[in-house]
Amino acid sequence: MAGEVAAAPAADACCTRCAGCSGQSPPPHNPRHEQHHRFTRRAFTLLGALVVGVLFVVVLGEWLGLLPALTRRVPWPAWLFFIGAAGFPVFRGVLRAARRRRVTSRTLMTLGVLAAAAVGEWATAAVVVLLMRAGDFIEEFTTERARGAVRSLLARFPRTARVVRDGAEQLVPAAEVRVGEIVVVRPGEEIPVDGEVVAGQAVVDQAAITGESMPVEVGPGARVFAATLARLGSLRVRATHVGPDTTFARIIRLVEQSDRHRAEVQRLADRFSGYYLPVVLTVAVLTLLVRRDPLAAAAVLVVACSCSFALATPVAVLASIGAAARSGLLIKGGRYLELLAGADVLLIDKTGTLTLGRPQLTDVVAFGGATRQEVLELAACAERYSEHPLAEAVRAAAREQGIEVREPEGFEALPGTGVRARLNGHTVAVSRLSPRIALDGQGTTTLAPPALPEQVAVTASRLQAQGKTVMMVARDGQVVGLLAAADTLRPEVPQAIRRLRALGVRHMELLTGDNEGVAASVAERLGIGYRANLVPEAKLQVVQEYQSRGHRVVMVGDGINDAPALARADVGIAMGAAGSDAAIEAAPVALMTDDWNLVPYAIEVARRTLAVVRGNLAFTAVYNLLGLTLASLGFLPPALAAAAQSLPDLGILANSSRLLKLRRPVSPPA
């Protein structure tokens, strides 16, 4: 449970490394994540300001009659060049979709561009192109960030390995390690292979792979994974999987494959276009055939493909994304809003997501006439020089109680078991409660079966059944107390779970690499289901299981081990400040603060946004159908049809601007 004082330099190096590159949950302040979120917020803010600014100038200028005078000063070849150059990728995509007999919102807007250009409304055509390209920029930006996350994952894999060859240790590239070779891992180093420990003992932080909430103590016979961190102690590991066959490498492949295989969601505007486009074309053709008037037919196309249709979805999406970002919620694209709005299954990681990701002391039990304060004082003083996370939890609890953590007269680490120290002439030992550990009459830790008093054994069993890690405190060989520690639940989680139920999320399930007892304890408190002892592949299978039954799945996680499930879920939500880069980039939604109230808020934002989008589309449809009727009857010539396009824009902007006022509600205390 502890490390020796002599190992402090290595441990310090470990702490420096693991805060930035290990799979464990880093402290709340993470400069790298803050820089990422700051850059993303600025990019979206600048893009939104550009789009809204251009639209405002165009709409106001056309409304006041100033725009035509200005646009006439720009020669038509310049307009044509801009529209062709900026819209080329869109026009090419529309042609490819047409070859596959698909109609998208881009098809209708492309017709609007052509119709606007045909009647000389070059500014309108340019604005439509600008909106289409703005949407492309958002998607390309987030896709490239996701690819960068995979590259950063590869960069953290150990480059070298210390291998025993010909009786001596040799430093070789990790890719050259062969299955069956013995790899030496020193304190503070990352393990370069999957394998079995053949000698040595260490505390290994493997949360990135298994999801275990606390570092585990490993010894001969234990299984270890590549890219996990040996925080204390040294190991000799026989390699069983190397290079691309390691668990870590498989996780990276799963992220890539899951992202590629995620079905593309058809946007609301695309579905609307599939019905609306045939109506527009039919009216235009009938107008041409019956009235024999090309100008009237052109007017039909112009009025039907107005900017209001192009604005109906993207402005609402930009408004809601901007409002959500101010509340600490980063949504990486409009298509995820539709998926979030229909979510009915929520799958949740535990460590660092539902919980704080670090142990806290929950129970102090005294025996043999000792007091609780005395037990805590003995344990804290004995653990003064320990670097184990459980030792820090003990010291933190003592400080909260106002107990002075005195310097012991002597300190000794017991690898894989605990610590022993001399205090006021007494031998004090603190050790993890395990079937392999006992204390003899001299306070020495042995590997014999424990012979604990019945009262102590019953209390320890009760605490372990609650999913807690139990430690014994002994003075001169006699057990004087028990300490229990657990990874504590985030205080706002129960209230957030209740809000999710009120929103209609019917199925909620905890997915964790922790053991059955820990998982059951957390799930019971929240009233949700659970599955324990899961590796990353198993979490991914649970997501696929729900999806195969037709459910809309949202996954919430924070670590590398969650990345495949986050990428494969319909919508993945990553805990931002505590999350790893892999989780944040694999997930289309990220929480920039570790506040669980943002999870139900994300669904609320999505539903409000879809309601506004549907309202915009309905308004646009009614307005355009009225315009179609007037244009086809000859009451709306092309010039007036082009001018009429700006009228619904103000209504769309006003309706969508309501989303800018979205604020995260302040939840009452749980």
Q: Which of 631, 660, 585, 438 is nearest to 142 (CA)?
A: 585
Residue 127 is encoded by which pair of tokens? 């604005």
386 residue type, one letter: S
Give the 3-state secondary structure of residue 28: coil
Q: How far is CA 617 from the centre of its chain?
A: 31
DSSP class per residue in 369-431: T--HHHHHHHHHHHTTT--SHHHHHHHHHHHHTT---PPPSEEEEETTTEEEEEETTEEEEEE
First-to-last CA distance in the chain?
A: 34
H or E segment and range at residue 9: helix 8-21
CA distances from 247 to 231, 286, 348, 533, 624 (A): 20, 63, 21, 15, 56
Cβ atoms 330, 340 nearer than 8 A: no
In a 10 Å sphere around its CB, with 0-12 CB exposed, 13-18 middle and 19+ buried, how is residue 661 labelled? exposed
Give the 3-state secondary structure of residue 175: helix
Q: Can you tell me the distance from the alpha carbon of 385 to that of 423, in angstroms, rounded to the nearest whole number?
A: 14
| 136 labelled catalytic | no
Q: How far is CA 335 from the centre of its chain?
A: 17
Q: How many helices (H) and strands (E) does the chain have?
A: 24, 22
Q: Can you tell me the distance from the alpha carbon of 158 to that of 191, in angstroms, rounded to the nearest whole number?
A: 7
In a 10 Å sphere around its CB, with 0-12 CB exposed, 13-18 middle and 19+ buried, how is residue 340 labelled? buried
Q: Which of 523, 601, 30, 554 is nearest to 326 (CA)?
A: 601
CA distances from 631 to 117, 295, 627, 668 (A): 17, 9, 6, 55
Which residues of 127-225 form beta strands (DSSP E)? Answer: 160-165, 168-173, 182-185, 194-205, 216-218, 223-224
Task: Name the active-site residue from 205, 259, 349, 514.
Answer: 349
423 residue type, one letter: L
Q: How far is CA 11 from the centre of its chain?
A: 29
Q: Which of 35, 31, 149, 33 is nearest to 582 (CA)?
A: 149
Residue 605 is encoded by which pair of tokens? 């934002």
Helix extents (H) in 579-660: 581-586, 598-632, 638-644, 646-657
Q: Can you tell me the distance from the alpha carbon of 50 to that of 71, in angstroms, rounded to the nearest whole number?
A: 19
Which residue do the tokens 């799958």 mark? Answer: 347
Q: Can you tell me the distance from the alpha carbon of 498 to that of 515, in angstroms, rounded to the nearest whole number?
A: 25
Q: Which residues are catalytic?
A: 349
